Each structure stands twice: as C-alpha cells, then as structure tokens.
C-alpha cells in the first residue's frame, strides 16, 4: 500500500533551476561542466536547452555577456565553484563595466564548511567576492527559493542600466527534493523585466531648447544606443535635425558609416569645435577624453572644453561624472529619443538646421581624411600591412553587411575600426570600455549562436592567444566563424629586441611566422596561410560562403604596428615625455 507522501510527485533543485530559466524564455546556456554542475548541464540539454560548452569559463562568460548585448535578454554563464567561478568573474565584471546584461551562475561548496573555513573542495565565499564586482549578487539556499533567485537575477541584469549579476547555487541545493506542485507554484515568470523609463517632459524640453541654440551641434552615439534597439527613431532624430554624428566603436553601423552626416572621418576636428554635444548612450570616459582632455592621434590636435552637453542615459548618476551636463535626459533611449523626436517634428519647418559653415568645415576634413585613407588603401606593399589586409575586410563586410565583425588587438583593432565601414546596427563587437584582450572567441561563438549569421573575427595575434583554444569549440558546434589572425609576430609589432643580447626574446615578441592556421586544422576546420591580399580575400570569401569554421593566418609586416596602436599616449613613458 502506498502512502500519500510516497505517491506525491516530487521535483528537485536541478529541475527547478531549469524550469525557472525556461519559464523566462532562456534557452541557451554558455558554460563549462564539473562538480557540482555536470548533471545540471546534462539535464539542461535533455530539457531542450542549447548548452554551449567551452574550454575556459572566461570565454563562456564573454559569450554570455555579448549574447546579452545582442538580444536584450541576460546571457547565462554556468561554472563550477572557486576556480571556475573566478574565471567567469572576469567576464562578469567586464559585462558590468560595459553595461551588458549577464548572469553568472556558479555552483559552490558546502556553506557550513565554507563559513567555518574548514577546507572544503574548492572552498570559497563566492558571494562576498562577486558582490563588489557586479551589479547584484544573490545566493539561493532552499529549493523553494529558486524561482525568486532567478527572477531577481533577471530583473537586476536587464532593468535600468544593464549589467552583470551573480547567482550562487550551493551544491546541496540541486539535490533538494520538494513537492512538484509546490515547486511549480514557486516559480516566477518575470513581468516586464526592463520597464520603459519615460523621461520627464521638462527635461526633454530643456534639451531641445539647448539643442536649438547650437551653432555647431554634434551627436555622439554610444553602445547604449546600439543596445536599446531604437534604430529607426535614432536615425530619424539624426536625419531630421541634420546634426553631424560620431559613432563610438560599437555604435558603428547604427546608421551606415557611409552616411553623409557621419563625422567619424573628422573626429579630432568635431570634438573640440562643437558647441553643443548630445550624448546618446555614451559615457564621457577615457574614450572621449573625459570631455575635457586632448583628442587623440597627434600633437596638433586641440584640447576641448566649453561645450554644452545634453546626455541621454538611463542612469541618473551618469550626468556630471566628468563635466557639467547642462541638460540630462534620464530614461530609456527608446522613450527619450521618441520624446525628443516628437518635439522636433512638432516644430516642423521651425526646427533650425546646422549652419552651412559648420557642415562645410566638417566635409572639408572628411574629404581630406577619406582621400588620404583611399591613397593608403590603394597601395599593395609586400609583405602585407594592416591597410592592405583590411582593405580586403572592408570590401567583404560591404558585400556581407549582415555578417558580424568581432575585433580585438591594438593596431589590429584601431585600423579595423577606422577602415572597415559597418552598415547595420550591432554588427561590430569589440574590446569595449576596458580595451580588454580575450573577448574574441567568446564573442564570436555567441554571435554565431544567437544570430546564425556569418561571423568574422579580426584578431591581433596576441589578442587571439587569450581565447584561441576555443577554435575547438567553433569546430565542435560547426559554427560559421572565420577568424583572421593579423600576424605581425607580437604585441604591437614583432621587432623588439632584448637589450642585453641574452637568449630570451623581448617581452612583446612571439615565435616568428607562427602557423595559427594549423590550430584550426587540428580540429577539422579550414586553415589558410595568406601572404597576399588576394589570398586573404579568397579565403575569407570562401569561409563566408561555405560557413565552415576557418582560420586565416594573415602574414603582416612585423614592423607595421605602433606601440599600443592609437593610444600610445596612455603609456607612462609617453605621458612623461609630453
């Protein structure tokens, strides 16, 4: 005879974690198995979730972060305890810095033993360590709280300014059994996880009033604007006002880089010369000289200052972080831009267009810079340099505007940013706010998984090394990723020498003429050794067409790079010389 208790249907922590995530539309997990989450990864796959298993948690974390940026849903990274958690934490912190929504879920050791520091397997107080490095951190101790833990993590990741959230799940939780009906009732489908934040009408009016007074207005679009997916309204705002705009690197393509109002090719002219600057989803951090420093790229460039600022941002604390913001517009970019556009449309023909003098002066600089660039791109030196190789990538992205471009390195990053035009929003993914190396293969895997579009990763040879082992992951999941390693034999260039004449090479130099293409071949992908632009073009075009995992080792003149690319001046020795 069975008792009532025996006949009751039961569930456990494993199932509740899966059910809570699925209930909230999360169908893809980036992670790496091991104690105590191996069975969770198996059960997730069995439950129909896509479980993308990596070779290192940092890459899984970077994949989750960029999946969050591309989809506006928190990307999930799943790791084991202490060392796996710490590997993932690097990506979680980077996600928070870049305002990407992500949740790092890590298994952890026995609470009682950890708290008494009795030396458990992979013992670590992970919650305490994560807390200062992310937007929010939670721990779930009881199976009936899993629903709430997951709901809180989702809300914290995507609402307001997006960011990274840590969710700590101790090993014991997974095996806890509870009544299935109670478990089901405890789950929460989050209603309106990223609520719209409507700007105050007087703040919008203040911004429009200031914009109207501008003689030399400028709009700066940042990756917050790309994230917001308000593409049509942003374009309409730019076009209706006629104001020149500068895209930050991950906002390239929000409007096509070939747009006549793009001032990208006159960057160092417009930044100091503009009188009213409207920032949309961009912070006045180091990438914008804190709104007061010198522009980059040369001794003749002017310091800027005296501008008036409008800042459209979801974070009320962002305003005044570096200079006075005269008109903060706080809200989600979709709502803010729509409200501003409403005011501009209402003004009709009364809305002033920027002066011909301002537009003419910008055009003059643009034409000069674009002409100079065209001249350099037309050259065909042997060995290849960054320009002749990137001229090829420029054509390929033009022909394949839906392809996603991942980009890291120093020279490999900076030259790609200014040479390769982007045509569509959220197609350029790069090192972001920290200028961090190591995002490459994680971003490439996630971009291919969430978009199913071809991905081209242009990588410095040093940058590639940080996540290179994931070429196996790319082959294992047969992803349409083509990695192009710009191989100049080292960090910045391959020509440094050891001043002592000793046997060790200089710290920035790698094995000469390394064959990165063989790494892809080792796992069944296509490896190509390219010494000329023609060979490079053929290989990348074929990769995009065939969608086969491919690595092209592009041999670049080892003397071609400069120290730290465009940001040489940030090196302490260079700064001292100034």
**Interface contacts to ligand ADP, rule CB under 6 A:** 98-99, 161-162, 222-224, 227-228, 248, 250-251, 281-283, 285, 287, 313-315, 318, 332-333, 433
Stretch binding Mg ion (CB under 5 A), from 319-327, 389-397, 456-464, 535-543 = 456-464
Short-list 54, 27, 62, CA closest to 429: 62
Residues near ligand OXT (CB under 6 A) are 249, 264-268, 287, 296-297, 369-370, 373, 409-414, 417-418, 431, 435-438, 460-463, 486, 488, 491-492, 561, 564-567
User: Residue 88 in contact with residue 29, Cβ under 8 Å?
Assistant: no
Cβ-based nearer residue to Mg ion, 36 or 409: 409
Which listed option, Mg ion, ligand OXT, ligand ADP, none, makes contact with residue 333 (CB within 5 to 8 Å by class)?
Answer: ligand ADP
User: Residue 165 in contact with residue 137, Cβ under 8 Å?
Assistant: yes
Give how far Cα 57 sits from Cα of 176, 309, 425, Å: 26, 40, 28
- Decide: is 461 part of the binding site for Mg ion (CB under 5 A): yes
Give how far Cα 136 sits from Cα of 61, 183, 359, 522, Å: 16, 25, 45, 41
At closest approach, how far in Å is the CB of 242 from ligand OXT?
20
- What does R_g of the chain's alpha carbons equal in angstroms? 25
Which listed option, ligand ADP, ligand OXT, Mg ion, none, makes contact with residue 418 (CB within 5 to 8 Å by class)?
Answer: ligand OXT
- Decide: is 460 part of the binding site for Mg ion (CB under 5 A): yes
At closest approach, how far in Å is the CB of 356 from ligand OXT?
21
Q: Cβ neighbours of residue 193 under 8 Å, at least 6 residues apart?
A: 24, 154, 155, 158, 159
At closest approach, how far in Å is the CB of 359 from ligand OXT?
16
At closest approach, how far in Å is the CB of 91 from ligand OXT?
11
At closest approach, how far in Å is the CB of 100 from ligand ADP?
9
Cβ-based nearer residue to ligand ADP, 79 or 98: 98
User: What span, in angstroms and rounded, lies between the C-alpha atoms of 396 and 377?
Assistant: 14
User: What span, in angstroms and rounded, lies between the C-alpha atoms of 48 and 381?
Assistant: 52
Sheet (strand 136-139) strand order? 50-53, 28-31, 75-79, 102-108, 164-170, 136-139
Which listed option, Mg ion, ligand ADP, ligand OXT, none, makes contact with residue 67 (CB within 5 to 8 Å by class)?
Answer: none
Q: Helix (H, G, I), strand (E, B), or coil: what is residue 540?
A: helix
Other beta carbons within 10 angstroms of residue 446's beta carbon come to 31
Which listed option, ligand ADP, ligand OXT, Mg ion, none, makes contact with residue 567 (CB within 5 to 8 Å by class)?
Answer: ligand OXT
Q: Cβ neighbours of residue 456 under 8 Å, at least 6 residues apart?
A: 393, 396, 397, 403, 404, 405, 406, 481, 482, 484, 540, 543, 544
User: Residue 215 in contact with residue 275, Cβ under 8 Å?
Assistant: yes
At closest approach, how far in Å is the CB of 68 from ligand ADP?
11
Cβ-based nearer residue to ligand OXT, 108 or 488: 488
Which listed option, ligand ADP, Mg ion, ligand OXT, none, makes contact with residue 318 (CB within 5 to 8 Å by class)?
Answer: ligand ADP
At closest approach, how far in Å is the CB of 526 from Mg ion?
22
User: Residue 135 in contact with residue 170, Cβ under 8 Å?
Assistant: no
Which listed option, ligand ADP, ligand OXT, Mg ion, none, makes contact with residue 71 (CB within 5 to 8 Å by class)?
Answer: none
The angle formed by the CA atoms of residues 568, 380 and 407, to the nearest 5 degrees, is 45
At closest approach, how far in Å is the CB of 434 from ligand OXT?
7
């Amino acid at each position: 005879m069975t008792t009532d208790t025996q006949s009751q249907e039961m569930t456990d922590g494993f199932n509740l974690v899966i059910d809570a995530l699925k209930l909230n539309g999360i169908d893809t997990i980036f992670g790496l198995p091991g104690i105590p989450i191996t069975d969770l990864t198996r059960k997730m796959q069995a439950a129909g979730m896509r479980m993308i298993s990596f070779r290192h948690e940092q890459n899984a974390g970077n994949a989750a972060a960029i999946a969050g940026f591309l989809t506006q849903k928190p990307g999930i990274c799943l790791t084991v305890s202490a060392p796996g958690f710490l590997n993932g934490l690097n990506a979680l912190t980077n996600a928070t810095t870049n305002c990407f929504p992500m949740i790092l879920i890590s298994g952890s050791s026995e609470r009682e033993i950890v708290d008494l520091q009795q030396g458990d397997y992979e013992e670590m107080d992970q919650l305490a360590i994560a807390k200062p490095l992310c937007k929010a951190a939670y721990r779930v101790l009881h199976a009936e709280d899993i629903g709430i833990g997951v709901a809180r993590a989702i809300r914290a990741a995507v609402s307001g300014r997006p960011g990274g959230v840590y969710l700590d799940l101790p090993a014991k939780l997974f095996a806890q059994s509870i009544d299935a009906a109670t478990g089901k009732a405890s789950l929460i489908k989050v209603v309106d996880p990223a609520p719209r934040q409507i700007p105050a009408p007087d703040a919008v009016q203040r911004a429009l009033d200031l914009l109207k007074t501008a003689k030399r207005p400028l709009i700066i679009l940042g990756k917050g604007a790309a994230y917001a997916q308000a593409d049509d309204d942003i374009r309409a705002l730019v076009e209706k006002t006629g104001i020149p705009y500068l895209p930050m690197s991950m906002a390239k393509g929000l409007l096509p880089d070939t747009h006549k109002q793009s001032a990208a090719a006159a960057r160092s002219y417009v930044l100091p010369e503009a009188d009213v600057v409207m920032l949309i989803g961009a912070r006045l951090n180091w990438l914008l000289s804190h709104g007061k420093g010198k522009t980059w790229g040369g001794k003749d460039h002017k310091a800027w200052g005296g501008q008036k600022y409008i800042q459209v941002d979801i974070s009320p604390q962002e305003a005044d972080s570096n200079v006075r913001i005269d008109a903060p517009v706080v809200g989600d970019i979709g709502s803010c831009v729509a409200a501003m556009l409403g005011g501009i449309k209402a003004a009709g023909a009364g809305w002033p267009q920027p002066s011909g003098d301002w537009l003419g002066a910008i055009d003059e600089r643009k034409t000069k810079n674009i002409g100079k660039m065209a001249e350099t791109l037309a050259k065909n030196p042997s060995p290849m340099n960054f320009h002749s190789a990137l001229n090829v990538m420029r054509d390929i992205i033009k022909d394949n505007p839906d392809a996603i471009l991942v980009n890291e390195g120093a020279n490999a990053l900076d030259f790609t940013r200014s040479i390769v035009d982007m045509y569509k929003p959220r197609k350029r993914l790069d090192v972001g706010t920290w200028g961090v190396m190591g995002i490459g293969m994680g971003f490439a895997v996630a971009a291919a998984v969430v978009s199913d579009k071809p991905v081209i990763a242009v990588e410095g040879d040093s940058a590639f090394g940080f996540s290179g082992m994931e070429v196996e992951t790319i082959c294992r999941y047969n992803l349409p990723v083509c990695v192009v390693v710009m191989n100049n034999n080292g960090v910045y260039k391959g020509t440094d020498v050891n001043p002592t004449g000793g046997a060790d090479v200089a710290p920035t130099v790698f094995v000469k003429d390394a064959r990165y293409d063989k790494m892809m071949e080792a796992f069944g992908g296509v490896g190509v050794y390219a010494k000329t632009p023609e060979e490079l073009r053929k290989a990348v075009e074929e990769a995009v067409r065939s969608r086969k995992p491919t690595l092209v080792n592009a041999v670049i003149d080892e003397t071609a790079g400069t120290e730290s690319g465009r940001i040489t001046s940030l090196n302490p020795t260079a700064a001292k010389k100034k």
